[in-house]
Amino acid sequence: MGAMPADAEAPGRASTRDRILEASTELFSRQGYSGTGLKAILAMSNAPYGSLYHHFPGGKEELGAAAITLAGTGYRDLVAAIFAPDIDVVTATSNFAEGAAAVLELTDFADACPIATIALEISSTSEPMRRAAAAAFESWLAVLTDRFHDVGIGAPRARELAIELFCAVEGAFILCRATRDATPMRTIGRAQAASVAAALPHRVPR
Amino acid sequence: MGAMPADAEAPGRASTRDRILEASTELFSRQGYSGTGLKAILAMSNAPYGSLYHHFPGGKEELGAAAITLAGTGYRDLVAAIFAPDIDVVTATSNFAEGAAAVLELTDFADACPIATIALEISSTSEPMRRAAAAAFESWLAVLTDRFHDVGIGAPRARELAIELFCAVEGAFILCRATRDATPMRTIGRAQAASVAAALPHRVPR
DNA sequence: CGACGACTAGATAGATCACTCTACTGATAC
DNA sequence: GTATCAGTAGAGTGATCTATCTAGTCGTCG
């Protein structure tokens, strides 16, 4: 049944496929899909053309979709960690925005949403990639919706809140990067934290 | 002192420069900056290379910045029309989101924010274009801030509201295009209208 | 061993990219 | 008339793009 690669879980070095994928997510999210050439990805991941087309026979489009999916699960895990069950949701909402603002400042406004740029670029031109982006976004919304529901917010309202938070953060990424100023992210952080607090069921005094 | 072109305001046909610029804004906003070739722009605007480099000696980058600026003033005027002085701001906020949702649906989710895609693409790679995008966004925020201030909302809060509305709409554009569903735009429309209503000064009963 | 498949390696092709170049047109200025 | 200049026109250039193609490496299995 063929060879089972021994380095699937090699400790020292990530597999070629993984290195290509990681370089893709980074370059795509920073320079966009069309703006990133395969050569740049190959150079960053120290891989030849042959490997790329071996692992991704569908070429750049398949690679793009895979990169979106990888970035999607990565960011979903981050959101899940910030909105962990033992942290109250209002604080988590504040922490989320403050974390995003801090990362923007630390990376010279380069690292924002790893998918948004590609999503806007390709959502009218590539169905596979568009679908991958939609699935990634939905997975984030599901994490948020579940968490809001767990703290007693009704299901429909929980999803609305998740959508509102998502949109506010994504929009803030755009504005912050263009103006090179993280203030908007902190502004919407306060607003969203207030929204979440207001949606919480009747506060029990002690 | 040189010739003054007689067709500067030709009634029948837009000038070559304008046609190039209009084609650029349309193609850039739909396919992104890197994803749009100069040939496509020239073909759509029925212009030769010579004209492009005559009017935009800076090449594609200058053209991109000019397209951003043009789209920016166009959208600013649209926002100003929706938030006209004789329309109450809560209704205007609802109308804004509903209008955006309707356009998305009518254009098969192709026409969203004319700048967002390019802004994300180039804000880490081209200073002139980044600056043009920032100026465009700021001009929209100024329109909203002024309007909110005019109805009695304090200046700092007025700007915060403008930022919150901007971010919500931009984020919704991303989510709606990726999922091909205008629901999120309507969701944030309701939320933002409520925010604006809550920020209004004490309602005087008749 | 020898065959096989997974994977690596990079030269190469053909298209397309942004851009430059020279030539041409037509109107104005003197 | 003639010089000047804005603007039009498109062939051509070198670089870069995605993708293909052949060849080689390495570990496993029969």
- Tens-digit pLDDT profile for residues A88-97: 999 999 999 9
What does the pLDDT look like over B32-52, one tens digit per residue? Answer: 999 999 999 999 999 999 999
Give me the sign of the Cα torsion angle A160, A162, A165, A168.
Answer: negative
pLDDT at B128: 98
| Non-local CB neighbours of A188 within 8 Å, separated by 6+ positions | A97, A168, A169, A171, A172, B163, B164, B167, B168
Question: For residue B202, what pLDDT band results from cuts at 50, 70 and 90?
Answer: confident
Q: Is the pLDDT of residue A206 over 90?
A: no
Return the number of other C-beta atoms located less than 10 Å from residue A85's C-beta. 10
What does the pLDDT look like over A150-202, one tens digit per residue? Answer: 999 999 999 999 999 999 999 999 999 999 999 999 999 999 999 999 999 97
Spanning CA of A70 to C1' of D27, the rounded length in angstroms is 29
Spanning CA of A154 to C1' of C27, the rounded length in angstroms is 73
Q: Which residue in A has a C-alpha nearest to residue B179's C-alpha?
A: A134
Return the amino acid letter for B138. E
Q: Is the pLDDT of residue A134 over 50?
A: yes
What does the pLDDT look like over B172-182, one tens digit per residue? Answer: 999 999 999 99
Query: Mean pLDDT over residues B44-61, rounded?
Result: 95
pLDDT at A14: 79
Spanning CA of B4 to C1' of D4, the rounded length in angstroms is 13
Q: Which residues of A touch B (CB under 8 A)?
A: 30-35, 108-110, 112, 116-117, 119-121, 123-125, 130, 133-134, 137-138, 160, 163-164, 166-175, 177-180, 184, 187-188, 191, 195
- Helices vs strands, H then E, count in chain B: 9, 0
